[in-house]
A and B are shown apart, each in its own frame.
Chain A
């Protein structure tokens, strides 16, 4: 999922979400079940080892992002060339990087930037894509056509290329502050990813629109806003949630890729991507400088992808 070719990701997610949407129809017909879909899913989730493992991992990473000092007392920015590239030892579990900074401390502190980028871009993507998808699905006609074409424009743009161009274009000359760069990275990820989310939302909304209860609500004279918010949104939300969980992991990976290419985050921000990029020149003499940040990155992405998987399976009765 960290491959920049989100188009691929998109296709996969869209098709799985599609399966789910048909699944949703089945649920509605199973009337008289005591539990709601959500609590049903929750009940199911708690029993899945995949969910438990991934949720634990994610909690741990979130904890690292929120309170890194719980895990290490070492200053991640302190570097002493005297211990440059030293291998892992009792003092420094993960060894030291090229500048002689403690890799363990940096990995812990690096979680924050990576998580922020992942979470905020996901929220932005879901908000933009979800809103547009809902509108396109509900109104149809020329609005749908227009939005779908705009989505096509962004969708057809290869991800890394688009990100490189956007990031280079908007990076103001002179020194840019850390928050600005982070904002730009988030923005470019969201701008290039929303079409996927829009398509999922749109197809879910179209399916929901044809449901009897929506038709009934309309016949009773409910306003468009009410129909969208009260009836369609809750039913279209589930596939988007699944997408969002998986995308969050993907975005963390994308941040690393962009940093690696030298256009994403950079020092003094500590992130896993920045660490991996820094290790590039010394990989062969000091593989541990790559190994640990890459392992944390992979584990985090893995956790989110697994969570997405588990949630999807829980929500889809056919998979039980």
Chain B
């Protein structure tokens, strides 16, 4: 187990370097004038451009810039944006918001998705099953920004049930319910279907049959044998989804003006801010990779057939 974790962690290193370099290179090669808009509606003064160029090492070759950036990063310094604000501080402000949003989304998709999945999985085919099937298909097909806009306009502007924007930081949990639903709606559909398939399959599995044959009470069969084994793919999905939700929140954050990392990165790209974009994306990738690792380890806990060594 220990060696397995170590190997996985070592594998993270090249992925980490590859991703950061890729991002750094892409942001670095963004076309256009990185000084656009910094001086109002007039061209920036040459003196200003000269000073900023020196300050941000813009004249260095890419690899040197990247090297300098990584050295600082290893010392825990995320650098500053072109607006001369500390990236670390920006991330510290934005991260909790996105994390909250992702957690709300995850909770919504887990609760609703699991409930619907277990219900239909245990019941088998019928009206409820078809209803759930159709609605999950619909959720999968609906683009997130359409869902977001429709909810914002109908529930927010017309009915005044929800806040149209969540501009406060840190974002209040209550305000995140609608955006969380929007963000989690797609995965909710997946969780439902995954749970349903998994349960339907395991219902016919040998170990369930054995448990029934042993005369275990129905509740124990369902609770311990059926659900625990069916949970494996669902848990995998939910685990990897946390990272994906955080990275995928850019559209939702944009619609509801949540001050999260999605907005931060989007701004960074527009402003050609290599430091901000690389910093945030690096964090996202780390979260993603680590959550993947944790999920794999969780496998071993849930499924006695899997052992790592």
Contacts and interface: CB of A to CB of B under 8 A. Distances in A.
Interface of A: 1-8, 11-12, 15-16, 19, 149-150, 152-153, 156-161, 164-166, 168-169, 171-173, 249, 253, 256-257, 260-261, 276, 280, 283-284, 290, 294, 297-299, 301-302, 305-306, 309, 318
B181 interface: no
B32 A302 contact: no
Contacts of A309: 137
A302 B135 CA distance: 11
B208 to A, nearest CB: 15
A172 B250 CA distance: 24
B233 A165 contact: no
Given A153-B19, A305-B140, A7 B146 contact: no
A3 to B, nearest CB: 4
12 contacts: A5-B186, A5-B244, A8-B248, A12-B237, A15-B233, A152-B15, A158-B281, A161-B262, A168-B269, A256-B145, A283-B149, A294-B146
A239 to B, nearest CB: 15
Interface in B245-275: 245-248, 250-251, 262, 265-266, 269
Given A15-B236, A257-B143, A165 B27 contact: yes
B289 A297 contact: no
Given A11-B244, A276-B146, 12 more contacts: A2-B141, A3-B186, A8-B248, A11-B237, A153-B15, A157-B19, A158-B248, A161-B281, A276-B145, A294-B146, A297-B143, A301-B141
A172 B29 CA distance: 11
Given A153-B22, A156-B288, A7 B240 contact: yes
Interface centre among A294, A297, A309, by most chain B C-beta atoms within 10 angstroms, is A294
A4 B144 contact: yes
B141 A156 contact: no
Contact of A3 (B23, B144, B236, B266): B144
A165 B23 contact: yes
A298 B237 contact: no
B168 interface: no
Nearest to A173: B31
A73 to B, nearest CB: 29
B57 interface: no
A156 B281 CA distance: 9
Contacts of B277: 165
A256 B193 CA distance: 25
B294 to A, nearest CB: 14
A12 to B, nearest CB: 5
Contacts of B265: 161
Contacts of B144: 2-4, 257
B157 A284 contact: yes
A312 to B, nearest CB: 10
